[in-house]
A = this chain, B = another copy of it.
């Protein structure tokens, strides 16, 4: 075998292991008996160690170098070129990090999440602060080890949104902010109120599951190659080319929590099911970035699942499923209810319009923190000031303020912007899809979701990591990323709902 084939074989075998790790992590979050946690943690750590060893082994490095010198490099989108580019990227990043630092971050993340949970429970930011400061120091060290051109934050962002730069993201998100803050204010000034009490009736959990699966199946999720289970914090997990698992959580007295988690995770799942199975375990069979992944979840959750046309198709089934609760509720009222927009404190409960401002606040603050322009002690005040400035509200305490998300305690700096990028990508793709397929509302009204899914598969899923996220956007939409499509969508939708143009 030549070096490239050795490399592929090795990489596919490593994927077998990392996907076993995915199975046991899925199991841990959905099925594991209460007392099984400690041993499972040992199993997961050992498996992760095996995967890491294989990904950073000198033998792997030798095959990689040999394959790079063996292969022609003319077409940047040829399978082998893409595979080598991405494996090189991962190998360099992983081998640049000293083992000591990796272990220190793992430890700080584990302790950090525990301290965060306790400090949050007791609304005691001072207790969390030293742990957070340690993590920030370690993440700066990580950035130094990995290397960067402009700023340390670039190195962290690049881990989640490969090849993207702080400068570029900051420009697009600043533009978004400048248009979104006034829109949110306009919505707030409207005297119309969404009839949200509709969504707080009786929603039988078994019926929610049945209806959620019906919706996921309608948009093309293949339950012969996937599952739906219950968990605390919904996620989507892949363990094989035909094994994609969605999770949700149900509230028996609230519709949105269970249903929109299913649609959101099904969006992730459709991307995973749409990746080319024959490339499974190789970069050409993997998602190109977290932001692109998030664009797929937001596409189905919001652009489709919160559209009037979607509910024209699905609402009759919802009325059957949720018997007396929805029988006398009109489609228009239901549609308005699932689209209530209102400034709120908690990111994960935010609506389509205000959500991105929650992300902006975190993105701006974490850049300042990593750059050393903001001290940990000053973070709560900075957080509250920005909530006041962008959303017109201020958290009553740090529990539901600066300590609401687990991310920073786990060292996930640079992760938040991928959520907003997902919304931006989704809207820009959606306009391109409408350009290609015509009236998407009309397709949805007829329940023809398959042409839409086919479009996504052909234009996005099929490519794996062949195109970097920014290249994919240009290729599919003809333009670089911009906030304009998302703003057009939000303004049209909420203008109509809240009565302004």
Q: What residues of chain A have their CB less than 8 Å away from a CB belonging to chain B? A: 13, 16-17, 19-20, 23-24, 27, 31-36, 38-40, 42-43, 46-47, 50, 222-227, 239-244, 280
Contact = CB atoms under 8 A, between A and B. Distances in A.
Contacts of A24: 20, 23-24
A168 to B, nearest CB: 37
Given A34-B224, A227-B33, A280 B243 contact: no
24 contacts: A13-B46, A16-B43, A16-B46, A16-B47, A19-B39, A20-B20, A20-B43, A23-B23, A23-B24, A23-B43, A24-B24, A27-B27, A31-B227, A33-B224, A33-B227, A33-B243, A34-B224, A34-B225, A35-B224, A35-B225, A35-B243, A38-B242, A39-B242, A50-B50
A33 B226 contact: yes
Nearest to A240: B39
Contact of A42 (B16, B31, B33, B34): B16
Contacts of A225: 33-36
Contacts of A224: 33-35
Contacts of A39: 19, 239-243, 280
Contacts of A239: 36, 39
Of A32, A39, A46, A239, the most chain B CB neighbours within 10 A belong to A39
Q: Which of A13, A241, A242 has the most CB of B within 10 A?
A: A242
B33 A223 contact: yes
A280 B222 CA distance: 39
Given A20-B20, A20-B24, A24-B23, A240 B36 contact: yes
Nearest to A45: B16
Contacts of A240: 36, 39-40, 43
Q: Is the interface of A mostly helix, strand, loop or mixed?
A: helix
Contacts of A13: 46
Nearest to A31: B227
Given A24-B24, A43-B240, 4 more contacts: A20-B20, A33-B244, A34-B224, A39-B280
10 smallest CB-CB distances across A and B, nearest first, come from: A39-B240, A35-B242, A36-B243, A34-B224, A35-B225, A16-B46, A16-B43, A36-B242, A35-B224, A33-B225
A50 B54 CA distance: 13
Contacts of A40: 240, 243
Contacts of A20: 20, 24, 43, 47
Nearest to A27: B23
Nearest to A21: B20
A34 B280 CA distance: 18
Contacts of A16: 42-43, 46-47
A40 B34 CA distance: 26
Contacts of A32: 243
Nearest to A26: B27
A16 B227 CA distance: 26
A47 B18 CA distance: 11
Contacts of A38: 242
A36 B244 CA distance: 9
Nearest to A239: B36
A453 to B, nearest CB: 17
Nearest to A20: B43
A205 B427 CA distance: 46
Nearest to A28: B23
A246 to B, nearest CB: 11
A24 B27 CA distance: 9
Contacts of A227: 31, 33
A33 B243 CA distance: 6
A461 B264 CA distance: 47
A27 to B, nearest CB: 6
A198 to B, nearest CB: 30
A39 B50 CA distance: 19
A19 B43 contact: yes
Residue among A36, A47, A244 with most chain B CB within 10 A: A36
Contacts of A222: 35
Contacts of A17: 43, 46-47
A244 B34 CA distance: 11
A36 B20 CA distance: 13
